[in-house]
Amino acid sequence: VTRQAGVGQDVVRRVNLSHVLRLLHASGPRTRAELTAFTGLNRSTVAALVADLAARQLVTEGEARATGTPGRPSPMVSLRTDRHVVLALDVGVDSLAAATVALGGHRLAHVRLERPRRRTVVDTTIEDLGTLADEVLGELGRGHRLVGIGVSVAGLVRTDDGFVHVAPNLGWRDVALAELLRARLRRRVPIAVANDADAGALAERVHGAGRGVDDLVYISGEVGVGGGVIVDGRPLRGVGGYAGEIGHIPVDVDGLPCVCGAVGCWETRVGEAALLRLAGEPEEGGRDAVDRVLAAAEEGDAVALGALEELGRWMAVGLAAIANVFDPQRIVLGGLHGRVHPYLNGQVAEPPRSELLTVREPVQIVPAVLADSSLAGAAELAFGAILDDPTTVAPQRTGARAARTQEPVT
Ligand SMILES: [Zn+2]
């Protein structure tokens, strides 16, 4: 909330609109009185902001309700899920997914396509994504309007233009993903692309295990191991937007070759193939093989438990590196690592603190709570522009005020 003198009125209004919309997006319906309390703005300002958001068809105001506290009943403000939607796409090694998502992370339609490891070539992937997108977009209601497309992909992404430099586990190099999708989907809306772990971090912070945490590391353990780092409430980007490649921290210099071309990356010790190798399963066994290992561990099978213990030892090595470099409040384990978390307690429940840093607060290490953080994160990416500046959506009512603020819809 900004009330700084010298800042233009329009800027202040935009910041306050964004603040109110983000509150509702992250925490669900709120009474106007609650919004007033949370924002610290005065009642009439909040009433005007809510009216503005309602005119843009972003929120709706219900009947006034008694709040149980002294004072007049306050109207309930909810996000509208019948108007602005985004298309979220997720490109993983084993599966592709598409969903239409409304404000608040509310999913309208959702499809996932499991695919064999060899079906990851670019052309096939674009075609499959197009088919999935057509399916979920075809189910939208008449009032729905697509305002953006977000894509998460298991690779190194230049976020400015959605260009994938390299995605080792997909076998991709230099793929103009946003451009290819724009040509296939033929929708005149912005397309935002991000690394799957960066997207996962975003979603877990807004809707999942990282709520309200400003210093957070999200680890996406799948075939590859990725990381999304949030420092002081902002995603850590690095010069080219490639920061957070936690899976490629060298932990074992005389170790195994990694798909990235280096030797002994953390991923070679804690990725899916490492677990399967330790458990005596084929490394390419995929999710079915992982399911078998976890089921065996559940029944107390010594080989499976031994594999998880060894995985946990290497998990602790990387977690210690992460904790020492970023000093996060919380590390959220997603994907495979979220699934194996219950078996890692012996190794990682004790915060990996070095003696040098005993002053540091213990790091909380928790599993992700969203079923598919990266897909949810793709939706967050696509909503980013509207959440940051709700005035990018033109008001629908006529009148002097609406006419004055009419702006092109992006
Ligand atoms: Zn590597």
The whole-number pLDDT of residue 207 equals: 95
- Tell me, in angstroms, the distance from the centre of ligand 1 to residue 71's CA: 60
- Tell me, in angstroms, the distance from the centre of ligand 1 to residue 219's CA: 15
> CA-to-CA distance for 284 and 120, rounded, in angstroms?
14
The whole-number pLDDT of residue 401 equals: 45
The whole-number pLDDT of residue 5 equals: 56
Check whether 111 has a pLDDT greater than 70.
yes
Does residue 3 or residue 143 have the better pLDDT?
143
Residue 93 carries which side chain, given as an amino acid letter? V
> CA-to-CA distance for 46 and 357, rounded, in angstroms?
45
Check whether 370 has a pLDDT greater than 90.
yes
> Average pLDDT of 256-276?
95
DSSP, res 164: E
- Tell me, in angstroms, the distance from the centre of ligand 1 to residue 247's CA: 6
The whole-number pLDDT of residue 293 equals: 96
- Tell me, in angstroms, the distance from the centre of ligand 1 to residue 231's CA: 23
Partner residues linked to 193 by β-bridges: 151
CB 88 within 8 A of CB 81: no
Residue range 276-310, pLDDT digits in tens: 999 999 998 888 999 999 999 999 999 999 999 99
- Tell me, in angstroms, the distance from the centre of ligand 1 to residue 329's CA: 26
CB 116 within 8 A of CB 178: no
- Tell me, in angstroms, the distance from the centre of ligand 1 to residue 391's CA: 43
- Tell me, in angstroms, the distance from the centre of ligand 1 to residue 248's CA: 4
- Tell me, in angstroms, the distance from the centre of ligand 1 to residue 296's CA: 29
- Tell me, in angstroms, the distance from the centre of ligand 1 to residue 193's CA: 22
- Tell me, in angstroms, the distance from the centre of ligand 1 to residue 271's CA: 11
DSSP, res 173: E
Q: Which two tokens stand for residue 133?
A: 């997108």
Partner residues linked to 145 by β-bridges: 84
- Tell me, in angstroms, the distance from the centre of ligand 1 to residue 54's CA: 48
> CA-to-CA distance for 218 and 366, rounded, in angstroms?
10
Burial of 108 (0-12, 13-18, 19+ CB in 10 A): middle
- Tell me, in angstroms, the distance from the centre of ligand 1 to residue 128's CA: 28
- Tell me, in angstroms, the distance from the centre of ligand 1 to residue 156's CA: 12
Check whether 44 has a pLDDT greater than 70.
yes
Contact residues for 345 (Cβ-Cβ < 8 A; gap 6+): none
Residue range 219-248, pLDDT digits in tens: 998 889 999 999 999 999 888 788 899 999
Tell me the pLDDT band of 119, cut-offs 50, 70 and 90.
confident
Per-chain mean pLDDT for the chain? 89
